[in-house]
Chain A
Amino acid sequence: GESVGLHLPTLSVQEGDNSIINCAYSNSASDYFIWYKQESGKGPQFIIDIRSNMDKRQGQRVTVLLNKTVKHLSLQIAATQPGDSAVYFCAETYSSASKIIFGSGTRLSIRP
């Protein structure tokens, strides 16, 4: 029979509010953690990354937090805009490899 993809977790946020997207990772050896944004009909687009020896990194309207104790990663988007509507993926890699492992995605939808 036809295979069915997993149901994506969805986060619904009021326009102008802050969004927090969470991700759990499994590989303690990963050196870098990356957030990607994927809009409908497009490939993933790099947003921000963080090295494993850091716990916070800020970009333009985005902040990534890393908690290695509980293997948790989060992406915070300030003042969420309609253009932020997309699926967000966390990913991990280590510096000696060129392979990036994608985690589960979260669909962010914006309420007007």
Chain B
Amino acid sequence: EAGVAQSPRYKIIEKRQSVAFWCNPISGHATLYWYQQILGQGPKLLIQFQNNGVVDDSQLPKDRFSAERLKGVDSTLKIQPAKLEDSAVYLCASSPMRGRAYNEQFFGPGTRLTVL
């Protein structure tokens, strides 16, 4: 089974520029998550999709961050304009709806963003 794919793996931009990240979840996984992981910290949930609808975006800085999941498969996360504090690894995860006790999440390798 192919894992969660993310691109690019690395991105360096200057502050106030825009950037976009792409995620392709595991085939058949209905739920998709975007996390921000600042160096030395655990991942922090930014947004959660169920198919192509948003379930939770309470931690997403909506003045500069946006995300979409068209057709309920791939997803993009955009930052416009970027700030220095956005330097982090952006992780995508997906989860099946198997009726388990909780939704086990499978993570992609992440995109490391450096804002100069």
Q: Do A and B bind each other?
A: yes
- A49 smallest CB distance to B (angstroms): 8
Q: Within 8 Å of chain B (Cβ to Cβ): is A41?
A: yes
- A62 smallest CB distance to B (angstroms): 16
A41 to B26, CA, bound (A): 19
Classify the interface of chain A: helix, strand, loop or mixed: loop
Q: Are B107 and A43 in contact (CB under 8 A)?
A: yes
- B28 smallest CB distance to A (angstroms): 16
Q: Are A93 and B102 in contact (CB under 8 A)?
A: yes
Contact of B42 among A3, A42, A91 (CB under 8 A): A91
Chain B 84-95 against A: per-residue CB contact (8 Å), 1 yes, 0 no?
Answer: 110100010101
The size class of the interface chain A forms with chain B is 20 to 34
A-to-B contact residues, CB < 8 Å: 1-8, 31-32, 41-46, 51, 89, 91, 93-95, 97-105
Chain A, residue nearest B112 (CB)? A41
User: Can you spell out 8 A-B residue pairs with CB atoms less than 8 angstroms apart?
Assistant: A2-B84, A43-B108, A93-B102, A99-B45, A100-B102, A100-B103, A100-B105, A105-B42
Chain B, residue nearest A30 (CB)? B102
